[in-house]
Structure 1
């Protein structure tokens, strides 16, 4: 079996920045164990697989360890592949996913995704959490992920959490965020149970970040910056029960997998 593969750097217009995702278009679904092995072999934070079904594309995302319910940068990467290589006349796509139907609209070089809003609930800051992060946040929230809020951008740049201690916290991922110096807000995102540890640019984390910063900054449009080593820019909008997350993407490679 020969499967096309594209590797896309998402939330950037420069190679070697943003968040790399593999994208594998399929004619029909293959066995889950094969998709998981491909994702493990790719060794990127996510590999996206999709098939066309009527007017929709069915889309799934796999980390090297397991399938996940929502991924921003791999959705952006999948949409980029469809717009640029498979259906060049399209300017909008609907993906059927584990998180419902997700829409992506192409506006020149910018791809805008409509995702569910995942507002966090405020929770207590435990001693274990402070020890894991190495610094005490002034607020802590929980949705799918924990979100720890700090006072300034420099806190986010300098934070150096213990991955071993973060593994003891019951959450898929941990967001750290603060008001930005040159943008509206900054963040970083840690996945302690993943081989990558820190995700370079995380679209799904902004499902929780956007509703929080709307309340704090009293506005509904934002420029966000994820402060990983690769870094990435996200253009965000709060739509009440949904959020809009926009970014650019660039092709790194395309080829075939022989399975």
Structure 2
């Protein structure tokens, strides 16, 4: 039997943000079992945490979608740190992962992810992807987080997208991030959405890892190193992104989280 928590990340309200299941385990576990657990929860990500002493880390952290293990996930990392804080740990938390050692600290009432930056770059997109998304993008490229990266002229265009997800699935590696500058009257700086049907996530509610590309892109466009972001999915979520001057290859992503359920997994 294993305890689990379901945490809404990048929000301070239940039923917003991005839900992730978190299991904090005592020792090694079977990969196939972890994948079945993730399929059972059927959330965009399930995080598995266990204590280790390796690579300067305190914990191992892995992320599984209902279909596959992924290399990087922001909201489930935030959720994992939130669970550790709720159980008395103070941080900083150092997680060894498929993306190296990731650190989460507590600052300004938020949890802050320290992730590698993945600025997008120009790259030809697959035939049919832009048509599958719809709208009239102004730029398209790729980010090494594993997503195509498509920029639209304004917030309304991103909010209005109703993509052909079957066609998007045929065109993508992990997924596709769409983004635009915020409307002038808004308090945030930019918006985004992310579609990842190829890994079992038609639309991700809030995607921390995508902001390792969004942060550098909008910092360059807007000329600021601290940005407020909204992922405008149906659930919606709020993130603060900082580009540290002393570590240009890193992105700090801040957010809040709330536990909505916990229980025992009898398997």
Structure 1: 5+ residue runs without aligned partners?
A: none
1:65 equivalent in structure 2? 67
Corresponding residue SS for 1:119: coil
Structure 2: 5+ residue runs without aligned partners?
A: none
Corresponding residue SS for 1:49: strand
Whole-Å Cα distance in 2 between the matches of residues 203 and 53 of structure 1? 24
Deviations 1:48-102 (A, max 9, x none): 00111135110000000000000000000000000111xx251311000000000
Q: How does 1:231-250 map to 2 (within 5 A)?
A: 231-239=236-244, 240-250=248-258
1:128 equivalent in structure 2? 128
Whole-Å Cα distance in 2 between the matches of residues 59 and 120 of structure 1? 25
The TM-score normalised by the length of structure 1 is 0.96
Aligned partner (choices 193, 213, 217) of residue 222 of structure 2: 217
Whole-Å Cα distance in 1 between the matches of residues 259 and 21 of structure 2? 10
Aligned-CA RMSD value: 1.3
Deviation of 1:184 after TM superposition, in Å, equals 0.6
Q: How does 1:1-259 map to 2 (within 5 A)?
A: 2-54=1-53, 56-85=58-87, 88-107=88-107, 109-124=109-124, 128-143=128-143, 144-181=146-183, 182=186, 183-239=188-244, 240-259=248-267
Deviation of 1:121 after TM superposition, in Å, equals 1.3
The TM-score normalised by the length of structure 2 is 0.93
Corresponding residue SS for 2:67: coil
Contact 1:91 1:107 in 2 (8 A): no
Structure 1 runs of 4+ with >4 Å offset: none
Contact 2:125 2:141 in 1 (8 A): no
Bigger Cα displacement from structure 2, 13-22 vs 49-58 = 49-58
Give the number of aligned pairs. Answer: 256
Bigger Cα displacement from structure 2, 93-102 vs 50-59 = 50-59
